[in-house]
Amino acid sequence: MLVFCSGIAACGEKEYLKAFEQLCDERGKEVRIHALGERIREIGRQDYPDLGKYDLLKYPDSTVNAWRAAALEAIINEIEQTDDDVVHILDAHASFWKKNGPEPAINTSYIKRLEPDFFVQIIDYEPDIYDRLKEKDDLPEEYELSVEEVVRWQETERYTNKILADHHQRPFFVLARQHPPESLYNMIFTDKPKVYQSFPITNLDDESLAGIKDYIEDLRPHATVFDPIEIDPQEFDDDKVMELLHNHTVKRDEQFIDQSDIVIVNFPKMVYSSGVEYEINYASRSGKPVWIIKPEGYAGPFTEYNCDREFAKPEECIEALQEKFGESDDA
C-alpha cells in the first residue's frame, strides 16, 4: 500500500507521521516514510553542497524538477524492492507558495506511476501555522507569509490534492494534526467506519463539552472519528482574514462529512446551533446517514427531518453503530 500524504509548511504533518510511525512500530506494522523534500535536497547537494532546507524556491524550476524526478525514481525503485505487506507513505507537498501565489510541487506523471491507494492532507488552524513559521529564524523571504496567504495556501493544497485524487479515482481525506495517529492507522489497517461527529460547540457549557469528549473517547475504539473541535479556531483581529477563516472552517467540515460513512449528531442539551443544522442538511443532501443523540426534548422539525435514527443515550448509539458496521478487529 502507498499513501500520498501532504501538508503545507509548519502544519505539523512531519510530527503527525512520526507519531504514526511510532504507533505502527508498537503494533508490529512495517511502515516506511519517504520524505520527498529531504530526498530532493540530498540530490541537489551533489551539485550544490550548501543547499539549505528552504533553498529550493531559489533555483530554476527546471533544476528543481530534475532533482524531484531523480528523487521520485529512487523512491519508486525502493518501493518495488520491498514486500507487499510494507506500507509506504510519500510525504510531499502538493503545492508551494511563492511571492503571493501557488507553485506546483509534484510531478503528476509520477503520481500515475506510484498509484497511491489514497491521498491524505494534514491540516491545522492557519494562525497557528503562521506563528510557527514566524518562529523559524532561518526562514527565507519567500516563506514570510501573511495569515491570509497561509489560509489560501492550505486551501490550495486541499484543492490540488482533491483534483489529483479525483483524477486517479482514489479517495481523499483530511486529518487535523490534533487527530490521534490511530485515525490514519485505522484507515490503512482496519475497516472501522468513518464517523463525522457533529455537536453544538458555542452554546454548550463546559460540563456538556466534557461529556462529549468522554463520549468521543468511548466511540474511538469502534470508529475513525473526525472531530471538528480538534481544531479550535480563535477570533482574529482582521475582518477579511476572519471571513476567510470562517469560510475555510465550513469547507473543512464539509470535507470531513464527505469522507465519512455516517454523521452522528450529539445534543447533550437542546441548544440551537446553526453549524449543526447546516451539517445535518449537507450530510443528508450528500446521501450520508445521519443519527442524532438527544437525551432530552424535541429537537425541532428542521433538525429531526433529515435524521435517520434517534437515540436517547450515547451508548445506545455506539451499540447500533457496531450492529450496522460490525465490530472491526484491530489489525
Q: What is the DSSP string of 55-72?
A: -GGGS-HHHHHHHHHHHH
Task: Evaluate whether 1-189 and 191-331 have a shared fold.
Answer: yes
Distance separating alpha carbons of residues 280 and 65, to the nearest angstrom: 44
On whether the CB atoms of residues 157 and 8 are closer than 8 A, the answer is: yes
If one counts every other C-beta atom within 10 angstroms of the C-beta of residue 284, the result is 16
One CATH from 2.60.40.10, 3.30.9.30, 3.40.50.10490, 3.40.50.300 for 1-189: 3.40.50.300
Q: Give the distance from CA 10 to its chain's centroid.
A: 14
Asked: is 191-331 a CATH 3.40.50.1820 domain? The reply is: no
- Domain limits of the chain? 1-189, 191-331
Beginning with the edge strand found earlier in the chain, give each strand of the sheet holding 87-91 in spatial order.
Answer: 31-35, 87-91, 2-6, 118-123, 172-176
DSSP state of 251: H
C-alpha cell at 57: 524556491
Per-residue model confidence (pLDDT) at position 116: 98
On whether the CB atoms of residues 270 and 282 are closer than 8 A, the answer is: no
DSSP E strands, the chain = 2-6, 31-35, 87-91, 95-98, 101-104, 118-123, 172-176, 194-198, 224-226, 262-266, 290-293, 309-311
Per-residue model confidence (pLDDT) at position 105: 95
C-alpha cell at 290: 445521519
* CB within 8 Å of 224: residues ≥ 6 apart: 182, 183, 186, 187, 192, 193, 194, 195
On whether the CB atoms of residues 281 and 306 are closer than 8 A, the answer is: yes
Distance separating alpha carbons of residues 276 and 139, to the nearest angstrom: 40
Per-residue model confidence (pLDDT) at position 139: 77
Kindly tell me the sign of the dihedral angle through the C-alpha atoms of 103, 105, 107, 110: negative
Length of the chain counted residue by residue: 331
Using alpha carbons, select from 261, 251, 255 the residue that is nearest to residue 222: 261
pLDDT along the chain (331 residues), means of 10: 97 97 97 98 96 89 96 97 96 93 93 97 95 84 87 96 97 97 98 96 82 94 92 78 91 97 91 88 97 80 87 95 83 61
Using alpha carbons, select from 111, 131, 121, 119 the residue that is nearest to residue 154: 121
Per-residue model confidence (pLDDT) at position 302: 75
DSSP state of 237: S
Vertex 24: Cα angle to 69 and 118 (nearest 5)? 45
